[in-house]
């Protein structure tokens, strides 16, 4: 295993996940605000799951996205 290649691959994956996740959250919040389903001051519980089937890895991370 080449550790440099491995680490770079992980970083690229996490960057892609971060950018795309942020975009999806922003769009969902904007749509909910436009429909008046959110007031703009909520704290939204968030869960992210990381799964790698070949490694039998399934880990969840919990957090909060605050709108105000």
Residue 29 lies in domain: 3-66
- The pLDDT of residue 29 is 97
Count of structural domains, the chain = 1
**Per-block average pLDDT, block size 10, for the chain (68 residues)?**
97 98 98 96 98 98 97
- The pLDDT of residue 37 is 97
Reported as a single tens digit per residue, the pLDDT across 48-62 is 999 999 999 999 999
Q: DSSP code of 52? A: E
Rounded to whole angstroms, the Cα distance separating 5 from 63 reads: 30
- Those residues whose C-beta lies under 8 Å from the C-beta of residue 43, and which sit 6 or more positions away, are 64, 65, 66, 67
């Amino acid at each position: 295993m080449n550790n440099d290649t491995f680490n770079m691959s992980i970083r690229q994956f996490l960057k892609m996940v971060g950018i795309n996740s942020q975009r999806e959250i922003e769009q969902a919040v904007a749509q909910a605000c436009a429909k008046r389903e959110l007031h703009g001051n909520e704290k939204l519980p968030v869960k992210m799951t990381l799964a790698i089937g070949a490694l039998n890895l399934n880990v969840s991370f919990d957090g909060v996205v605050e709108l105000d």
